[in-house]
Amino acid sequence: PYLAAYMYVRYKNHLDVPPDRFSSSLSAIHLLDTQPIYHFLHQLSIPHPPNASWHEIGNITFTLPHPRNGKNPNVYNYIGHDSALIIEKAMEVEMKAELYEFLLENKYCHGIMFKKSMETFVAHYNMVELVEEESLMRAFQRWRKMVKRDASNTHLLKLMAIRT
């Protein structure tokens, strides 16, 4: 649910119909072929299996422009469970990349603490009750530790190369 909330705010200028807070149906995010998620959806879409329900069960709706070449969206309009997980991971990567850049820029360019920046980000993307800020912060800290370790290892390799 937090990724759907993120995507609807992130792509608010690409909504087919502006969202209505009192409506139970979600508007669709109209993706352009310049957006990374478009390519995942396009590649992973398959013809609707005969035994699959036509009832939509997801919490986010995308529309793709009609491609000049390639898959006909009237035929290739189904995303299976495994493909949905791949798309979900791609959305998570996009969200985390934006979040991490936001946290680092606020800290090192504006002196804003990570916790305050995290609260701002989560509130801006309407994810307040949908995601644990602490879990996002722990993931960010693990990522920073990994980046520092990789940078340290790269530095050591360069030193070893210089000595030999």
Neighbours of 115 (CB within 10 A): 12
Q: To which residue do tokens 């820029």 refer?
A: 105
What is the spatial distance between Cα 5 and Cα 129, in angstroms, rounded to a whole number? 11
Q: What is the pLDDT of residue 88?
A: 95
* 8-state DSSP, 48: P
CB-based contacts of 143, cutoff 8 Å, min separation 6: 96, 100
pLDDT in tens, 92-137: 999 999 999 999 999 999 999 999 999 999 999 999 999 999 999 9
Q: What is the pLDDT of residue 18?
A: 53
pLDDT in tens, 13-59: 988 765 555 454 568 999 888 888 988 898 999 999 998 887 778 89
**pTM of this prediction?**
0.82
Domain hosting 22: range is 2-163
What is the spatial distance between Cα 15 and Cα 26, in angstroms, rounded to a whole number? 10
Count the domains in the chain: 1
